[in-house]
Amino acid sequence: MKITNIAMLSALLAIGSALAADKTATTEPKPPPPDLPPGGLTKFDLDFKGGHPKDLIAAIQKAAGKPLNVLIPQEYANVTLPELKMKNVNAPQLFRALEQASHKTEYVKNGENTFNSFNTAFGFRANSDNITDDTIWNFYLQKPNIPPPYKPYRICRFYSLAPYLDSGISVDDITTAIKTGAKMLGDTDEPTMSFHKDTKLLIAVGEPGKLEIIDSVLRALEPDSKSAVGNKSGPPAKPAAKSAEEK
């Protein structure tokens, strides 16, 4: 009887051990999921020939083999992006490089000799600091409102060439002297001139300061003049005829 009890006790202990082992096996934690790539972001190679923002996104999606969440405002859809050739990069690295390359300083003329400078940039910004492959990116363009282009104040003046023509000087001689002087001064926007045959008037349109050279030439060519007088930087010469402001 004692032997039987011992055998039963041994059997019960064996069953208990088996149940405990089975319970341990079922409650043992599962192995962690496989690690993501370094940085947790998909890497890819890109050979982009340049184009618009949507063209770049299409190229990235093709290279990465997965979609990219991007918002491109309609007003920025036609911004021109440069050519990009990247190897083993992820989306944040690519967008950061694009943004840095886009920075530049532009100048706008706001007066006769003054300019305004401003910085421009474009790129893709993430909607959160926690960057993943599912992050939403927004395309932006940094460019301030540019003031209207500077339009110089221009006037119209009339010069009577009759005395000069009567003394044997031709219209060609006079206009060539004016253009030569303006060219030597470095003026790229010389006065616009036209000769009216019936009245023998030289009609000139331009900025007041740039018309002074016409006064100097005509003063130097006066029939009773013995030497060249006057220059563009000297006191303004009196026009040979009336002046009228161009409206």
203 in the same domain as 233: yes
Strand partners, 22: none
Task: Give the chain's domain count.
Answer: 3
Q: What are phi and psi of 196, to 5 degrees?
A: -100, 110
Supply the pLDDT for residue 234: 42
167 in the same domain as 138: no
Alpha carbons 205 and 203: distance in angstroms, whole number: 7
Strand partners, 159: 202
- Please identify, among 104, 120, 142, the residue that sits at the C-terminal boundary of a domain: 142
Supply the pLDDT for residue 107: 80
Residues written for the chain: 247
Residue 81 lies in a domain: yes
Question: Is the pLDDT score of 139 beyond 90?
Answer: yes
> In this predicted model, what pLDDT tens digit does every residue of 203-213 receive, in sequence order?
999 888 888 99
Supply the pLDDT for residue 5: 54
Looking at this protein, which amino acid is placed at residue 13?
Answer: L
169 in the same domain as 221: yes
172 in the same domain as 210: yes
178 in the same domain as 106: no
165 in the same domain as 96: no
Residue 149 lies in a domain: no
Supply the pLDDT for residue 69: 96
- Please identify, among 88, 114, 142, the residue that sits at the C-terminal boundary of a domain: 142
46 in the same domain as 20: no
Residue 72 lies in a domain: yes
The arithmetic mean of pLDDT across residues 8-19, rounded, is: 56
> In this predicted model, what pLDDT tens digit does every residue of 39-69 receive, in sequence order?
589 999 999 999 999 999 999 999 999 999 9
102 in the same domain as 186: no
14 in the same domain as 70: no
Question: Is the pLDDT score of 110 beyond 80?
Answer: no
Q: Is beta strand 201-206 parallel, antiparallel or unpaired with respect to 243-245?
A: unpaired
Cβ-proximal residues to 77 (8 Å cutoff; 6+ apart), any chain? 52, 53, 54
pLDDT band at 150 (very low <50, low <70, confident <90, very high): low
134 in the same domain as 43: yes
pLDDT band at 22 (very low <50, low <70, confident <90, very high): low
| Helix locations, the chain, DSSP H | 2-27, 53-64, 91-102, 162-166, 171-184, 208-220
Residue 150 lies in a domain: no
196 in the same domain as 234: yes
Q: Containing H/E element for 203?
A: strand 201-206
Give the residue from 116, 66, 107, 54 showing the smallest Cα distance to 90: 66
Mean pLDDT value across the chain: 79
What SS3 class is residue 81?
Answer: strand
Alpha carbons 161 and 171: distance in angstroms, whole number: 8
Question: Is the pLDDT score of 244 beyond 60?
Answer: no
Residue 186 lies in a domain: yes
Residue 147 lies in a domain: no
Torsion on CA atoms 201, 204, 205, 208, rounded to nearest 10 = -120
What SS3 class is residue 196?
Answer: strand
The arithmetic mean of pLDDT across residues 223-230, rounded, is: 51
CATH code for the domain in which residue 214 is found: 3.30.70
Tell if the pTM clears 0.85, that is, is over it.
Answer: no
Alpha carbons 143 and 120: distance in angstroms, whole number: 5
Alpha carbons 98 and 137: distance in angstroms, whole number: 14
Alpha carbons 139 and 81: distance in angstroms, whole number: 12
Q: What are phi and psi of 26, to 5 degrees?
A: -75, -25
Both tokens of 155, joined, read: 């006037």
Strand partners, 138: 71, 125
Question: Is the pLDDT score of 4 beyond 60?
Answer: no
Supply the pLDDT for residue 145: 72
Degrees, nearest 5: CA angle 105-106-112: 135
What range defines the domain where residue 54 resides?
A: 39-142
103 in the same domain as 14: no
